[in-house]
Amino acid sequence: MKKLILIGAVMLAGLAAQAQSLDAFLNEADAFFKAQVTEGRVNYKGLSKNGESLNSLVQQVAAMNTNSLSGVEKKAFFINAYNISVINGILKDYPTESPLKISGFFEGKKHNIAGKNITLNDLEKEYLLKVTGDEKLHFVLVCAAISCPPIASFAYRPEKLEAQILERTKLALNNDEFIQVNKRKKIVELSEIFKWYPGDFKDKAPSIIEYLNKYRDEAIPTSYKTGYYTYDWALNGQKGNAQSSKKAVEPTSNLQSFTPSVLLRKGQVELNSFYNIYTQNRIRNREGDKVSLAQRQSFFNAAYQVTFGVSESSRLNLGFDVTVSSFSNGSSPFSPVFQSGDINEIAVANFGPSIRFTPFKKLNNLSVRSAFWFPGGKNLENRNGAFVAHDRYTWVNQVFFDQELNDQWRLFLETDLIYRFARRDDQENFFRTPVTGILSYFPSSKVSLFALYQYSPRFERVSNGFDEQFGLSQWFQQAGAGIKVQLTDKLGIEASTTSFFASRNDGGGTTFNLGFRYIK
């Protein structure tokens, strides 16, 4: 009996110590936020010179044992831990103009939270949103940017947590900057938080306007249309902090945010159309020497892709591809577009489903796209004596990777495996493995100038004079330059040209390219 009493006493003492530890942390956090946050702005400059109070809190966040905490205590702890970790993350790279200027700020860099090394995205989604199902946390967790809901100048405490969360929710949804109501145009411009996390709000009210009206002092007519204003990612620092000495950070556009390696969020849709003309009046033989053709040959491809974001984690996209191709031997490179040559052929070249995914959760700047195409017609490789497109089943695999070099330069890398399956006895299987590098310069968030290089070898069964072996049969190298411009919040355009400057048993022509990209 004495042992049981002793064990019980020890357990009670442990629980009391844990409660005291949480209470001491919250008291210290409350004093910190009161001292360092004013009207939703953080004193980063002062903390960069004297960060002892922040360092103490960071250490307590790391050492906290959450096993014996109740659900509401964990919720309060993780909310405070998130906001403290965001501030600490900024201070590690201070001075900075924006959290987006810090590579991997949300999804790459890790913080010690209760003994576990996790990212801010994991803390938000796995430890708070998924566990609590409380969408109002989006108005409490602050991402260090101007367009975030203002950070509170107090710590969140379990005994009054729900009242505190409700207060911050009402404060945000009644803020004319956060919810921008245009009565004249009958439009409501929403924070992009509602676009990024649609699943968190969809079951909370019949419509997003009705959801807002649950917390607003002045209701918005349900007939008003909704849209989204551009998120301002400038740092939420106090006057005199790093960003105030420079012009405000230009909001990022889809051109910067949705690079080839970045997937769509759930509910988003991307429409792509890409138009390519390849024209040549010469080719290169097996030795790489130029061989003149008796005529100009021009090929036109119009590729259309639709892609859907289908996962809450933004790690899976599904889509569909369609390509229309044409050939012409007219004197103009644009003859296949206008069908102005002696020989003109056009056909649906291929169509099929696609999937995009990020294979590694911790490496979100690397993604894979795989598509399987069915041929759109017959005799596409010899349509009235002209090659229009490959008359085969095609499996396309692409690996995308991008790396931000600094604020204005970014490197994009892509490697592909394009396998063509023979459909008839007179065909052979073959595949290409193009490798592409693109160096992009961003003079602004809405304009990108780029230079590209690609090497594309083809492998198939070839004769070596004695027998046939599977090996390298031909290759080409091309280089070029182009420009991308974000015309509106949703629509972007690109134009480029390349030259096939070297090849073996392959082309020696030029390409002209035009593309449009729409993300909603």
Q: What pLDDT is stored for residue 520 in this prediction?
A: 86
Q: In this structure, are 76 and 13 located in the same domain?
A: yes
Residue 351 scores a pLDDT above 90: yes
Mean of pLDDT values over 431-460: 95
Tens digit of each residue's pLDDT (9 = 90 or more) over 92-147: 989 888 898 888 889 888 999 999 999 999 999 999 999 999 999 999 999 999 99
Q: What pLDDT is stored for residue 13 in this prediction?
A: 43
Q: In this structure, are 342 and 397 located in the same domain?
A: yes
Q: Which of 133-142, 223-232, 321-330, 361-370 has the lowest mean pLDDT?
A: 361-370
Domain membership of residue 446 (yes or no) is yes
Amino acid symbol at 464: N
Residue 501, H or E segment: strand 491-504
Q: In this structure, are 224 and 348 located in the same domain?
A: no
Residue 499, H or E segment: strand 491-504
Distance CA 198, CA 265 (A): 9
Tens digit of each residue's pLDDT (9 = 90 or more) over 36-89: 999 999 999 999 999 899 999 999 999 999 998 999 999 999 999 999 999 999
The overall average pLDDT reported for the chain is: 89
Domain membership of residue 242 (yes or no) is no
Query: Which residue, of 164, 194, 228, is where some domain finishes?
Result: 228
Provide the angle, in degrees to the nearest 10, between the axes of the packed helices 71-92 and 2-36: 40
Quick one: pLDDT band at residue 4, thresholds 50, 70, 90? Answer: very low
Q: What pLDDT is stored for residue 247 in this prediction?
A: 41
Q: In this structure, are 355 and 215 located in the same domain?
A: no
Q: What pLDDT is stored for residue 331 in this prediction?
A: 84
Cβ pair 96, 87 in contact under 8 A: no
Q: In this structure, are 348 and 275 located in the same domain?
A: yes
Q: In this structure, are 324 and 457 located in the same domain?
A: yes
Residue 219 scores a pLDDT above 80: yes
Distance CA 347, CA 329 (A): 16
Mean of pLDDT values over 311-319: 86
User: What is the C-alpha R_g of the chain?
Assistant: 29
Q: What pLDDT is stored for residue 240 in this prediction?
A: 59
Q: In this structure, are 198 and 316 located in the same domain?
A: no
Domain membership of residue 235 (yes or no) is no
Distance CA 338, CA 332 (A): 10
Mean of pLDDT values over 357-363: 83
Q: Which of 54-68, 455-469, 502-516 has the lowest mean pLDDT?
A: 455-469
Amino acid symbol at 141: L
Distance CA 508, CA 108 (A): 43
Tokens of 193: 């938080």
Q: What pLDDT is stored for residue 467 in this prediction?
A: 67
Quick one: pLDDT band at residue 335, thresholds 50, 70, 90? Answer: confident
Domain membership of residue 239 (yes or no) is no
Q: In this structure, are 68 and 182 located in the same domain?
A: yes
Number of domains present in the structure of the chain = 2
Q: What pLDDT is stored for residue 334 in this prediction?
A: 86
Q: In this structure, are 313 and 426 located in the same domain?
A: yes
Query: Which residue, of 158, 193, 228, is where some domain finishes?
Result: 228
Q: Select the more confidently predicted residue: 435 or 5.
A: 435
User: What single string gives the DSSP state of each residue in 220-242?
Assistant: PPTTSEEEEPPP--SB-BPTTSG
Q: What pLDDT is stored for residue 426 in this prediction?
A: 80
Distance CA 425, CA 469 (A): 18
Range of the domain at 462: 254-519
Quick one: pLDDT band at residue 1, thresholds 50, 70, 90? Answer: low
Domain membership of residue 360 (yes or no) is yes
Q: In this structure, are 105 and 156 located in the same domain?
A: yes
CATH of the domain at 489: 2.40.160.40
Q: In what order do the strands lie in the sheet with 225-228?
A: 180-182, 187-190, 225-228
Tens digit of each residue's pLDDT (9 = 90 or more) over 473-486: 999 999 999 999 99
Q: How many helices (H) and strands (E) does the chain have?
A: 12, 21
Amino acid symbol at 466: F
Nearest residue to 33 (alpha-carbon basis) of 69, 96, 94, 79: 79
Mean of pLDDT values over 265-271: 88
Backbone φ and ψ for 514, nearest 5 degrees, come out as: -140, 130
Q: What pLDDT is stored for residue 361 in this prediction?
A: 74
Quick one: pLDDT band at residue 465, thresholds 50, 70, 90? Answer: low
For the question of whether the overall pTM of this predicted structure is more than 0.75, the answer is no
Nearest residue to 194 (alpha-carbon basis) of 266, 86, 108: 266
Cβ pair 496, 483 in contact under 8 A: yes
User: What single string gives the DSSP state of each residue in 100-150?
Assistant: GGSTTTTTT-EEEETTEEEEHHHHHIIIIIHHH--GGGGGTS--SBTTSPP
Domain membership of residue 159 (yes or no) is yes
Those residues with Cβ within 8 angstroms of residue 109's Cβ, 6 or more apart along the chain or in another chain: 89, 102, 119, 120
Domain membership of residue 404 (yes or no) is yes
Q: Is 291 exposed, middle or buried (0-12, 13-18, 19+ CB in 10 A)?
A: exposed
Tens digit of each residue's pLDDT (9 = 90 or more) over 157-212: 999 999 999 999 999 999 999 999 999 889 999 999 998 898 899 889 999 999 99
Q: In this structure, are 216 and 275 located in the same domain?
A: no
Query: Strands 435-444 and 409-421, how do they pair?
Result: antiparallel
Tens digit of each residue's pLDDT (9 = 90 or more) over 222-245: 999 999 888 899 999 987 554 443
Quick one: pLDDT band at residue 464, thresholds 50, 70, 90? Answer: low
Q: In this structure, are 82 and 145 located in the same domain?
A: yes
Residue 275 scores a pLDDT above 50: yes
Quick one: pLDDT band at residue 248, thresholds 50, 70, 90? Answer: very low
Q: What SS3 class is residue 90? A: helix
Mean of pLDDT values over 365-385: 90
Residue 517 scores a pLDDT above 90: yes
Residue 7 scores a pLDDT above 50: no
Q: Which of 246-250, 288-292, 393-397, 398-402 has the lowest mean pLDDT?
A: 246-250
CB burial readout 422-441, b (16+ within 10 A) else e:
eeeeeeeebbbbbebebebe
Q: What pLDDT is stored for residue 370 in this prediction?
A: 97
Q: What pLDDT is stored for residue 5 in this prediction?
A: 47
Domain membership of residue 233 (yes or no) is no
